[in-house]
Amino acid sequence: MLRDPNSIAKDDRVIEDPVMEPFFITKSKNGGFAVYRRVEKGTNKKKYIENIGYPSNFNSALKVVSMQLLNFSEKTHYKSVKEYISAWNEVKTKMETLTDLE
């Protein structure tokens, strides 16, 4: 579901990083996390956010972002499982430089 980018509560923390674009994470003041993707739609390229999910903790949120980065990458065809896993490891390594995901 798409929603207005300004619909995020003012009390929520927004966690952004160029490595995660077009995705970002929010943490509500009640403690829950959410992962969003920035989307532009229509001829006027109106800006929206799309909810990706509600991970239980910050490390899980980073893992969700990592998988989404892989799935929304420009590459759409992998000739082997090994090639896909290699691409996953590249994305995961970028995210691990931000924090320890274990």
Q: Judge contact between 33 and 53, C-beta under 8 A.
A: no
Q: Which residues pair with 47 in a beta bridge?
A: 40
The arithmetic mean of pLDDT across residues 62-90, rounded, is 88
pTM of the model: 0.81
- Give per-residue pLDDT as tens, 3-38: 999 999 999 999 998 889 999 999 998 889 999 999
- According to the model, what pLDDT value does residue 99 have? 57
96 in the Ramachandran plot: left (φ > 0), alpha (ψ -120 to 50) or beta?
A: alpha
Confidence of residue 102 (pLDDT cuts 50, 70, 90): very low
Q: What is the mean pLDDT of residues 43-57?
A: 93
